[in-house]
Structures are given as structure tokens and as C-alpha cells.
Structure 1
Amino acid sequence: MVSRHVGNNWFPMLGLSLVFLLGAAVELVGNSTYGAAPRYFVFASLAWGAGSALWLWKNPSAWPAEGRKYLYLGAAALAGVVLGAMLPFLNGCGPWLALAGSLVYYGNLERARVIVTAGAASAAAGLLAAMVSASVWGGLMHALAAVVCAFASSRLHLLRHGRRRARQHEDIDVLDFLQDDDEDSRAR
């Protein structure tokens, strides 16, 4: 039986964290003036979307809203990422903001505040990266968005699977008792 749970979103959130982390590397190696790598975000978000769709097909989320709203969200996110890469006034950060905005709306549909918060923090980092023209600042904003998404992934994984139980401490006296028994049986 397949379990529908909002915590099943932990793997796509971890993937988004990886997208932002690799985006920081691409942006810093590419020496762009703003924290933007629009072509990277277009291709990485397509790969991330395909991977997330496969994961959520196998491990469905709660999906409390109507199915067509999710389809509209996917189409709007794809259009936003592709068209956002072409907007000159966002300095190449359009795909980043489209991903963050779609994450906020998806969290709203799933009724998961941690996803909404991760999307809002990613959007704020994207806006800061679009405004400040320093390569290191853009890399820092990518790293911040990656950390926020990784933290959200951790919280969703904890929500889904719960905390690990502490191991029971073994009583060593029991082992001493068994050893004494063994010595008594040899003496006979």
C-alpha cells in the first residue's frame, strides 16, 4: 500500500538544495557579475522537475488540492523558468525567482508551512542576488538557498519517518552473570 504523506516531499526538496548548491558553483566558476546562471537554472530545473515527478509518482505526497491545480503549477513553473531567463531587468535571476515562487505556491497547496518558508527564503535570496553585483554575494545567496532547502528537507524527512529511538543501554552485569555460570559448569 502506498502511503500519501506530505513528508514524501523530502527528496525533491533535497534535490532543489542540490540545484542551488551546484548553481553557486556554476556562478562562481563562470565569474558572472550577478548571482545568476540562467541557462544552468533552466536545464537543472528541468532535470530536477523530472526527477521529482518520478519520485512523487512512486512516493505520492498528500495532494489535498485538486489535481489540475498541480498541473497548472507545473506549467506555470516551466513557463516562468524559461521566460524568466530572458528578462533583462532580473539580471539572470528570473528562473531562480520562478522556482522559488512555484515552491511557495506548492507549499500552499500541500498545506506545508516549511515548504512555503523555504520558497520565501529562496525568493528573498534570489532578489538579493539580482540586486547586488558581486560574484561572491551571488554565491553566498545560492548557498543560503541551498541550506534553507536542505533544512526543509530534513524537517520533512523527520515528519515522515519520525525520530530515531535511542539504543537501549545494555546491562553489563548480565554478561558477568553468564560468565560466572560458564565457570561453574567447567568446575563440575
Structure 2
Amino acid sequence: MATSRQASTGFSLVEVLVSIVVLSIGLLGSIGMLLTAVRTGKEAATFAAAVNLARDLSEKVRMNPGVAARNDAANTYLVANWTAGSDAPVAAGGGCAAEACNPESLAAWDMSEWKRRVAKALPGARLSICFDDKPWNASAGEYEWACSEAGPNVVVKLGWVPHADAANSKHDGEPQRERPPRLVMQLVSG
């Protein structure tokens, strides 16, 4: 009598394990892409906040041209190497908000309020506001913190600690002091 072998159907244990491994690798890749997207979104929001802060300061400076055009100590809009936390805390309100004041007092009040907002919006904030005719360092291929203190252009240089460094960044592992400005914007042109 002839016996017929019945073909087995279904999956073997090895096939199931291989499919689980492949699915796990795909899920890990998806999670990695999601985390990168979240970090990139945070950095984009921080950059947008920095641009808005620079734009706001530009408007304040343009409303007070008598002080902003000076290249001397009387120009309180000029700031050299300020970092968040280096000033005494500034109380909101008061100053020129409640009373009339002269242009110099208005500039000092504008800057104290603006620095408070910068410290709140940008992690590890650093800034310089100066007369600088060449903020771009062509040999290094990046902006630099040093100011020429010459020329008719007042620029704001903002830096902060990034949420996530790019994988190929040449500044990985460097302290914030050594990083170039992340945003340089002209406030007043001569």
C-alpha cells in the first residue's frame, strides 16, 4: 500500500524569529527618525526665537537712533560678550515702562528687558552687539565673536547651546565659549 506524505503547512519557529528581528530593526529605525525629528524641531523653534529676538532688538534700536549711532560708552545698546546669568536679575516692569525717560535711559531699559528675554528663550545664551564691518571669518568659514569696532554697521551676534549637535559638526565637545555665533544679524546700517 502506498503511503502519501502530507505536506506540512504553516511557519517554522526559525521563520517567525527572523521576521521578529526584521520587524524590530525597522521599529528601532523609525524611533530613531522620530527622535531626530523632535530634536530638529526644537532646534528650529529655538532658531526662530533667536531671529524674533534679533528682529525685536532691531526695531528698538531703530526707534532710538540718537543712542544707537554712537560708537562710544554712551551707547548702551552695545554689549560685549554677555552670557545668560552674568547680569543681576532684572525685574519686569518699572524703569521706562512706568515713567518718561531720556533716550539713554530708554536704551538701558530696553537692553535689560531684552537680555532677560534672551536668557529665558535661548539655552546657555551668549551675545555681542557691536560695530563690526566684517563679522564673517572667511579663512575659518564661520562667523566670529570678535568685533572690529569699526565701520557703520551695528550687528547682533547670538549663540546658544544647541539641542542636538550635527553628527559631522567640527565643534562637537567644545564648550559654548568656543562655538561661533549661531545667528548674526545687522541692526543698523551706516
Taking structure 2 as the reference length, the TM-score comes to 0.31
Larger RCO (CA within 8 A; separation ≥ 6): 1
Larger gyration radius, structure 1 or structure 2: 2
Taking structure 1 as the reference length, the TM-score comes to 0.31
